Structure 1
Amino acid sequence: MFQKTYYATHPDMMAGASNEDLRDRYLVSDLFRPGEIILNYSHGERFIIGGAVPAGGPLALPVRSEPPSDAGRPLLERREMSVVNIGASAGTVTVDGQALELAQREALYIPMNAAEVTFAGDGARYYLLSVPAHRALTLHKLALSDVVPMERGSLETANERSIYQLILPHTCASASLCLGMTILKPGSVWNTMPPHVHERRSEIYLYFDLPEDDRVFHYMGEPDALRHIVMANEEVVISPPWSVHMGAGTRAYSFIWAMAGENLDYNDMNVVDICQLS
Structure 2
Amino acid sequence: MDIRYSTGPEDVKRYTTEELRKEFLITDLYQPDQVKATYSHVDRMVVVGIMPVHETVPVDKGIDIWKNFGTHFFFERREGGVFNLGGSGVILVDGTEYRMGFEDCLYISMGSKEVTFRSDDPENPARFYMVSAPAHKPCKTTFISFEQANKRPCGDGKTANKRVINQFIHPDVLETCQLCMGLTQLAEGSVWNTMPAHTHERRMEVYTYFNIPEGHAVFHMMGQPQQTRHMVVQNFDAIISPSWSIHAGCGTSNYTFIWAMGGENKEFDDMDEIAIPDMR
TM-score normalised by structure 1 residue count: 0.96
Deviation at 1:212, TM superposition (A): 2.9
Deviation at 1:68, TM superposition (A): 5.1
Kindly tell me: are residues 156 and 65 of structure 1, through their superposed partners in 2, closer, same or farther at Cα, counting changes over 3 Å? same
State the match for 1:135 in structure 2.
Answer: 137
Deviation at 1:66, TM superposition (A): 4.9
Supply the AA of the counterpart residue of 1:97. G
Cα distance per residue 1:137-172 (max 9 Å; x no partner): 001001121134111111111110000111111102
Deviates more, 1:131-140 or 1:55-64: 55-64
**Secondary structure of 2:157's aligned partner:** coil
| CA–CA distance in structure 2, aligned partners of residues 204 and 11 of structure 1 | 17
State the match for 2:220 in structure 1.
Answer: 218
Deviation at 1:70, TM superposition (A): 6.7
1:59 and 2:57 aligned: yes
Q: Conserved in 2, the CA contact under 8 Å of 1:210 and 1:254?
A: yes
| CA–CA distance in structure 2, aligned partners of residues 11 and 268 of structure 1 | 21
1:43 and 2:41 aligned: yes
| CA–CA distance in structure 1, aligned partners of residues 68 and 146 of structure 2 | 40
State the match for 1:255 in structure 2.
Answer: 257
State the match for 2:276 in structure 1.
Answer: 274
**Secondary structure of 1:214's aligned partner:** coil
| Matching residue within 4, 7, 15 for 2:5 | 7
Deviates more, 1:139-148 or 1:213-222: 139-148
**Alignment: residue pair count:** 275
State the match for 1:164 in structure 2.
Answer: 166
| Matching residue within 182, 185, 188 for 2:184 | 182
| CA–CA distance in structure 1, aligned partners of residues 167 and 71 of structure 2 | 34
Supply the AA of the counterpart residue of 2:81. S
Q: Conserved in 1, the CA contact under 8 Å of 2:150 and 2:172?
A: no
Q: Conserved in 1, the CA contact under 8 Å of 2:66 and 2:72?
A: no
Supply the AA of the counterpart residue of 2:77. R
Cα RMSD between the aligned structures? 1.5
| Matching residue within 194, 197, 207 for 1:195 | 197
| CA–CA distance in structure 1, aligned partners of residues 56 and 251 of structure 2 | 34
State the match for 1:204 in structure 2.
Answer: 206
TM-score normalised by structure 2 residue count: 0.95
**Secondary structure of 2:22's aligned partner:** helix
Kindly tell me: are residues 78 and 19 of structure 1, through their superposed partners in 2, closer, same or farther at Cα, counting changes over 3 Å? same
Deviation at 1:67, TM superposition (A): 4.1
| CA–CA distance in structure 2, aligned partners of residues 207 and 70 of structure 1 | 27
Supply the AA of the counterpart residue of 2:74. L
Q: Conserved in 1, the CA contact under 8 Å of 2:198 and 2:247?
A: yes
Structure 1 runs (4+) greater than 3 angstroms displaced:
66-72
**Secondary structure of 1:20's aligned partner:** helix
| CA–CA distance in structure 1, aligned partners of residues 184 and 15 of structure 2 | 30
Kindly tell me: are residues 106 and 66 of structure 1, through their superposed partners in 2, closer, same or farther at Cα, counting changes over 3 Å? closer
1:73 and 2:75 aligned: no
Identity %: 39
Map residues 103-122 of structure 1 onto 2, 5 A cutoff.
Answer: 103-121=101-119, 122=121
Supply the AA of the counterpart residue of 2:270. D
1:242 and 2:226 aligned: no
Structure 2 unmatched ranges of 5 or more: none
Structure 1 unmatched ranges of 5 or more: none
Supply the AA of the counterpart residue of 1:203. E
| CA–CA distance in structure 1, aligned partners of residues 75 and 151 of structure 2 | 30
Q: Conserved in 1, the CA contact under 8 Å of 2:217 and 2:252?
A: yes
State the match for 1:102 in structure 2.
Answer: 100
| CA–CA distance in structure 1, aligned partners of residues 13 and 148 of structure 2 | 44
Deviation at 1:211, TM superposition (A): 2.1
Q: Conserved in 2, the CA contact under 8 Å of 1:65 and 1:72?
A: no
| CA–CA distance in structure 1, aligned partners of residues 139 and 180 of structure 2 | 14
